[in-house]
């Protein structure tokens, strides 16, 4: 028996109790998964040895899993980068050539850097914020515009190829759903995920996540059967001796919409992204999801919270509290003091991809429970979930449990959870850093420019106002920042009054402004959710959208990413190119082309403030007359609190958190 402390819940007979009078189960998920393995094998993702959702105890490899200090990149990431960076050259050349940066031979500059001085080659990252489905769809619109596989993105006004030139792609909460879904589906284009396929529920947001899919590939016919299947899968994890939390249920529900596989791919793991041919050939960016650590007995998450990242190779933190990484593939193994001792067990499959996505968005856990009580969900399912909640305590309903703690006995002097058998992780936006910037600021990754797509709901009607940027800026002044730096950003009123939240804005343009001896941070290209062709300020907690609404919100974000295919600024693609080049030009002491200087004058924050409070913010459409969202709202919530929280519903569901603000 694996030495886990199991919660007092038993779902072993749940499906049987709700089955037909003959006692037969509605279907056999394990058998169905097995029959589909051949069809899915080419995707190299359903690699949990158990064949299902439950993690599996395995024989430890000859070189037993160990933790490593965070003083550098892992050898796996370093080796992968050696393949990825050269593959960004051609799309970068094509992107910059189309950008038409006058009096500058971008193609020669980039190819010379690739051949003679790889450190001069621009290193691009994209970060997609949290904000529920709004964030997923808004981020999807940006990635669609940046993807040269999508027709029209390389035409006049387009920025297609930016995604192919990107090294890192980070997501948090709703943005993490987007990143996870792309990689769970062979790094598909957004366009293909919108198009969907027969019998698939992927990206079919017109069916509420709480009601279940209309087309699942497993003949689910009603909400009750859907939740019985989810509960049965979670029960398999508990019965295997592993602790469960509400995040297990939330992550399984997410998977039905985000993973194009039977039952939402219960055997698909996050670490197995590293096994896909696309990733092994460095044909995609490097995916990162972000969560916050919650110290034992802690209920409020502050900027001092440890930031954790998940990538295909490792899970851990650069922060000085933990300053270490565990192999993602072997999470839930019996690590102690950084090693799995000879008496300890090794485990695979704990990093189920929906559970990792759910970890980064655990703020939705209580929202899940509230909605289930209003639907036709069997009482036994509700009881199973409430039993989990009661066992954890109401103050822990937003956590994802990682037990045993991979950092047990690790960094004892600084790690607040070093003596705890459990590592508690929560939604990555709970410390206000609703854009996953922290992993991209690490000097070891040497990122030059971050395209920060912000779908936070900071204002009374759910538009961003830079709160996430300010949180990351403020964090650099506390000890946990560990030497990372971030450009200065203004207050919320200035963001609104100067229009910095209604169009793209650049921060940190002048690399010479940073103190000597401090690693110069990346240039940040802030791309806020704003109304171009649709009012995309939908609630964070809206559980469903018609496919027309989905597509209009994605199109709106596409227009934001391209500035209406250049109709709002014909030189926008040029300015994107200048942003990509900026840090590289500075490092090589290359004269900045005049057209780039003009771009920086238009898009860089000039450092001035306008802090006048002009009341609620109700922007108008920039293009067209779309009506997806609402220009105004009848109810308002406290602005500035988590980008994740955007509705009066949140005030009720998450009152325990809001009352602490």
Could you tell me the CA-to-CA distances from 609 to 229, 323, 452, 486, 602 in Å, in that order?
54, 37, 21, 18, 16
User: Could you tell me the CA-to-CA distances from 265 to 29, 365, 651 in Å, in that order?
Assistant: 10, 20, 33
The pTM (predicted TM-score) of the whole model is: 0.89
pLDDT in the model for residue 385: 76
- Please write the tens of the pLDDT for every residue from 550-597: 999 999 999 999 999 999 999 999 999 999 999 999 999 999 999 999
pLDDT tens, 292-339? 998 877 777 889 999 999 999 999 999 999 999 999 999 999 999 999
How do residues 488-543 score in pLDDT, each as one tens digit? 999 999 999 999 999 999 999 999 888 777 789 999 999 999 999 999 999 988 88
Report the pLDDT value the prediction gives residue 390, as an integer from 0 to 100: 65
The whole-number pLDDT of residue 1 equals: 37
Break the chain into its structural domains and give their ranges.
14-658
**Per-residue confidence (pLDDT) for residue 362, from 0 to 100:** 73
Are 61 and 131 in contact by the 8 Å Cβ rule? The answer is no
CA distances 482 to 263, 299, 322, Å, are 42, 24, 11
pLDDT of residue 330: 98
Which homologous superfamily does the CATH classification assign to the domain defined by 14-658?
Cytosolic phospholipase A2 catalytic domain (3.40.1090.10)
617 Cβ contact list (under 8 Å, min separation 6): 459, 460, 461, 463, 465, 496
pLDDT tens per residue across span 58-112:
999 999 999 999 999 999 999 999 999 999 999 999 999 999 999 999 999 999 9
C-alpha to C-alpha distances, 504 to 2, 371, 561, 610, 614, nearest whole angstrom: 51, 36, 8, 18, 21
Sorting pLDDT into bands at 50, 70 and 90, what band is 372? confident
Convert the pLDDT of each residue in 195-217 to its tens digit: 998 888 899 999 988 888 875 44
Close Cβ partners of 317 (under 8 Å, ≥ 6 residues apart): 70, 293, 306, 307, 308, 309, 323, 324, 325
Task: Give one DSSP letter per residue of 340-390, joined into a string.
Answer: --TTS-EEESTTBHHHHHHHTTGGGHHHHHHHHTTSS--HHHHHHHHHHHH
What is the SS3 assignment for 287-317?
A: EEEEEEEECCCCCCCCCCCCEEEECCCEEEE
| pLDDT digits 0-9 by tens, 133-175 | 999 999 999 999 999 999 999 999 999 999 999 999 999 999 9
Show the CA angle centred on residue 223, arms to residues 222 and 227, nearest 5°.
Answer: 125
Please identify which residue in the block is written with the tokens 């929560």.
426
pLDDT in tens, 399-443: 888 999 999 999 999 999 999 999 999 999 999 999 999 999 999
pLDDT-derived band at 37 (thresholds 50, 70, 90) equals very low
Residue-wise pLDDT for 437-493, tens only, equals: 999 999 999 999 999 999 999 999 999 999 999 999 999 999 898 889 999 999 999
Give residue 33's pLDDT band: very low, low, confident or very high (50, 70, 90).
very low
Q: Residue 531: its pLDDT value, please?
A: 98
pLDDT in tens, 623-649: 977 666 555 543 322 333 233 333 333
Residues 87/575, Cβ–Cβ less than 8 Å:
no
Band of pLDDT at residue 32, cut at 50, 70 and 90: very low
Give how far Cα 119 sits from Cα of 71, 87, 285, Å: 19, 15, 18
Residues 90, 91, 97, 103: is their CA dihedral positive or negative?
Answer: negative
Nearest by Cα to 471 from 500, 428, 512: 428
- Listing DSSP states for 182-241 in one string gives HHHTTT--HHHHHH--TT--TT-TTS-TTT--S--SS---SHHHHHHHHHHHHHHHHHTT
* Sign of the Cα pseudo-torsion (297, 302, 303, 309, in order): positive
Query: How many residues are there in the chain?
Result: 661
pLDDT tens digits, 14-27: 333 333 333 333 33
Range 208-227 average pLDDT: 73
Q: Supply the pLDDT for residue 41.
A: 34
Report which of 527, 490, 487, 535 is spatially closest to residue 507, judged by C-alpha positions.
487
Give the Å distances, CA to CA, from 613 to 63, 297, 617.
60, 38, 10
User: What are the CA-CA distances from residue 431 to residues 73, 258, 438, 631, 642 (Å)?
Assistant: 25, 26, 12, 28, 8
Mean pLDDT of 608-632: 84
Ranges of beta strands (E only) in 22-161 are: 56-58, 68-69, 124-128
H or E element, residue 557: helix 547-562
> Is 80 exceeded by the pLDDT of residue 391?
no
What is residue 633's predicted lDDT score, i.e. its pLDDT? 43
| Predicted pLDDT of residue 387 | 77
Q: Give the DSSP letter of residue 447.
A: -
Pairing, β 449-454 against β 124-128: parallel
Percent of the chain residues past pLDDT 90, beyond the cut: 71
Q: How far apart are CA 588 and CA 119, in angstroms?
A: 10
């Amino acid at each position: 028996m694996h030495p886990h402390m199991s919660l007092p819940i038993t779902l072993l007979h749940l499906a049987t109790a709700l089955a037909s009078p003959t006692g037969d189960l509605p279907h056999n998920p394990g058998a169905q998964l097995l029959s589909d393995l051949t069809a899915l094998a080419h995707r190299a993702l359903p690699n949990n040895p158990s064949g299902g959702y439950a993690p599996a105890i395995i024989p430890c490899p000859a070189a037993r899993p160990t933790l490593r200090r965070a003083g550098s990149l892992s050898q796996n990431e370093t080796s992968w980068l050696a393949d990825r960076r050269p593959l960004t050259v051609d799309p970068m050349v094509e992107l910059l050539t189309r950008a038409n940066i006058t009096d500058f031979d971008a193609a020669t500059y980039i190819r010379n850097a690739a051949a003679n001085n790889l450190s001069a080659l621009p290193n691009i990252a994209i970060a997609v914020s949290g904000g529920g489905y709004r964030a997923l769809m808004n981020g999807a619109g940006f990635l669609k515009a940046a993807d040269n596989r999508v027709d029209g993105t390389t035409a006049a006004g387009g920025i297609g190829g930016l995604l192919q030139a990107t090294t890192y792609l980070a997501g948090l909460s709703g943005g993490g759903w987007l990143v996870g879904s792309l990689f769970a589906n062979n790094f598909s284009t957004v366009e293909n995920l919108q198009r969907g396929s027969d019998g698939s529920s992927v990206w079919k947001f017109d069916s509420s996540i709480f009601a279940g899919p209309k087309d699942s590939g497993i003949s689910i016919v009603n909400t009750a059967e859907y939740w019985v299947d989810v509960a049965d899968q979670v029960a398999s994890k508990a019965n295997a001796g592993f602790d469960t939390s509400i995040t297990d249920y939330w992550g399984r529900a997410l998977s039905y919409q985000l993973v194009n596989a039977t039952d939402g791919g219960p055997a698909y793991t996050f670490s197995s992204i590293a096994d896909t041919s696309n990733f092994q050939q460095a044909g995609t960016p490097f995916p990162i999801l972000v969560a916050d650590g919650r110290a034992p007995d802690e209920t409020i998450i502050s900027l001092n919270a440890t930031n954790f990242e998940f990538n295909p190779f490792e899970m851990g933190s650069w922060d000085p509290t933990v300053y270490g990484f565990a192999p993602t593939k072997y999470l839930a193994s019996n690590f102690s003091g950084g090693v799995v001792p000879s008496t300890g067990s090794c485990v695979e499959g704990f990093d189920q991809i929906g559970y990792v996505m759910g970890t980064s968005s655990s703020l939705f856990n209580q929202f899940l429970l509230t909605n289930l009580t209003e639907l036709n969900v069997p009482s036994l399912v509700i009881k199973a979930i409430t039993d989990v909640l009661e066992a954890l305590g109401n103050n822990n309903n937003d956590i994802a449990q990682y037990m045993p703690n991979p950092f047990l006995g690790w960094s004892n002097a600084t790690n607040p959870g070093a003596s705890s058998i459990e590592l508690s992780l929560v939604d990555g936006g709970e410390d206000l850093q609703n854009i996953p910037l922290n992993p991209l600021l690490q000097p070891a990754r040497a990122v030059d420019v971050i395209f920060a797509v912000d779908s936070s709901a900071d204002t009374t009607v759910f538009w961003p106002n830079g709160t996430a940027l300010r949180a990351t800026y403020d964090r650099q002044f506390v000890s946990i920042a560990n030497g990372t730096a971030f450009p200065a950003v203004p207050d919320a009123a200035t963001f609104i009054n100067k229009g910095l939240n209604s169009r793209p804005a650049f921060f940190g343009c002048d690399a010479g402004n940073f103190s000597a001896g401090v690693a110069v941070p990346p240039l940040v290209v802030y791309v806020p959710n704003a109304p171009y062709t649709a009012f995309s300020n939908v609630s964070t907690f809206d559980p469903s959208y018609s496919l027309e609404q989905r597509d209009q919100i994605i199109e709106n974000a596409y227009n934001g990413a391209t500035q209406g295919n250049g109709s709002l600024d014909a030189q926008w693609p040029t300015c994107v190119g200048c942003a990509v080049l900026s840090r590289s030009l500075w490092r090589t002491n290359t004269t900045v082309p005049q057209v780039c200087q003009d771009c920086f004058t238009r898009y860089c924050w000039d450092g001035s403030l306008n802090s006048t409070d002009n009341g609620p913010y109700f922007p108008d459409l920039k293009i067209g007359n779309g009506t997806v969202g609402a220009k105004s709202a009848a109810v308002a919530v406290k602005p500035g609190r988590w980008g994740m929280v955007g509705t009066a519903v949140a005030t009720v569901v998450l009152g325990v958190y809001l009352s602490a603000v």
